[in-house]
């Protein structure tokens, strides 16, 4: 999903940057924008390593910022495309901060996108939140007790990147009798989208990296 404003900016920019794919394959953002690009635009894949090492990441952001500045300094506009929204756990947020630090006069404009929890709720045909319901989004779950704590403070919980912990989370949802009120959406809004409802029937499922879990807690 691309907003009209985002599409107009994308197509009007002389240079289009995006995270490079792994091992010379197309990246996710590149696949999304590919049908909308024009022949006259210069494509600029940037390398962002999938690591947690802060020093390596800082070097990558500085290198990407320097590359982008080489075009901006020529008076060219550079659009950076990413999946979802640039400010929702997005790589671009770090890159934008680095550009502003290294080149303070640079104008950076963020165009809001469609994040996966919102896209997933639309696919499910449910309201993500209603009235005074509290929403909690957990980007990565490292310990199950984090999820148990979340049960006490929120009515709606979104667990991102659930694929690696689903087999551990399922028994916990069963113990709290939340399986019937939980949903898994894989590749939300993509052509390959898959939806799993009533998780009592989906104990053992293989999920891709792009999967999330929505848990509804009824406190009535």
Which CATH number characterizes residue 20's domain?
3.40.1010.10
Return the SS3 of 120: helix
**Do 89 and 120 fall into the same domain?**
no
Domain count within the chain? 2
109 inside domain? no
Return the SS3 of 211: strand
**Do 126 and 174 fall into the same domain?**
yes
β-bridge pairing 182-186 and 211-216: antiparallel
Q: Which of 51, 72, 102 is the last residue of a domain?
A: 102
Of the candidates 143, 88, 169, the residue with the CA atom closest to the CA atom of residue 184: 169
Q: Record the pTM.
A: 0.88
pLDDT for the residue numbered 184:
98
Which residues fall within 8 angstroms of residue 135, CB to CB, at 6 or more apart?
A: 128, 129, 154, 155, 156, 157, 158
Whether 1 and 26 have beta carbons less than 8 Å apart is answered as no
111 inside domain? no
186 inside domain? yes
pLDDT for the residue numbered 157:
97
pLDDT for the residue numbered 113:
92
Q: Which of 80, 102, 124 is the last residue of a domain?
A: 102
Beta bridge partners of 46: 19
- Domain limits for position 143: 116-216
Angle ∠(138,122,178) on CA atoms, nearest 5 = 50
Residue 138 backbone phi and psi in degrees, to 5 = -105, 110
Which CATH number characterizes residue 178's domain?
3.30.950.10
Print pLDDT tens along the chain (220 aa). Answer: 899 999 999 999 999 999 998 877 888 899 999 999 998 999 999 998 877 788 898 999 999 999 999 999 999 999 999 999 989 988 889 999 999 999 998 999 999 999 999 999 999 999 999 999 999 999 999 999 999 999 999 999 999 999 999 999 999 999 999 999 999 999 999 889 999 999 999 999 999 999 999 999 986 5
DSSP character string of 155-181: SEEEESSGGGTHHHHHHHHHHTT-GGG
110 inside domain? no
Residue 17 backbone phi and psi in degrees, to 5 = -105, 155
197 inside domain? yes
């Amino acid at each position: 999903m691309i907003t009209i404003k985002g599409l107009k900016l994308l197509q009007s920019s002389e240079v289009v940057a995006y995270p490079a794919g792994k091992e010379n394959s197309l990246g996710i953002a590149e696949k999304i924008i590919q049908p909308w690009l024009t022949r006259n635009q210069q494509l600029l894949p940037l390398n962002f390593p999938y690591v947690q090492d802060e020093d390596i990441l800082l070097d990558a952001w500085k290198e990407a910022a320097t590359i982008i500045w080489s075009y901006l300094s020529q008076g060219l506009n550079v659009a950076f495309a990413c999946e979802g929204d640039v400010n929702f756990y997005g790589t671009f947020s770090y890159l934008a901060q680095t550009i502003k630090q290294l080149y303070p006069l640079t104008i950076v404009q963020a165009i809001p996108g469609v994040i996966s929890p919102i896209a997933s709720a639309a696919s499910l045909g449910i309201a993500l939140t209603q009235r005074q319901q509290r929403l909690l989004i957990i980007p990565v779950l490292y310990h199950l007790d984090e999820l148990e704590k979340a049960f006490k403070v929120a009515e709606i919980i979104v667990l991102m990147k659930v694929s690696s912990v689903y087999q551990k989370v399922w028994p916990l949802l069963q113990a709290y009798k939340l399986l019937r009120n939980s949903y898994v959406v894989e590749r939300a809004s993509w052509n390959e989208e898959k939806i799993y409802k009533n998780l009592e029937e989906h104990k053992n499922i293989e999920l891709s990296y792009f999967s999330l879990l929505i848990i509804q807690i009824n406190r009535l």
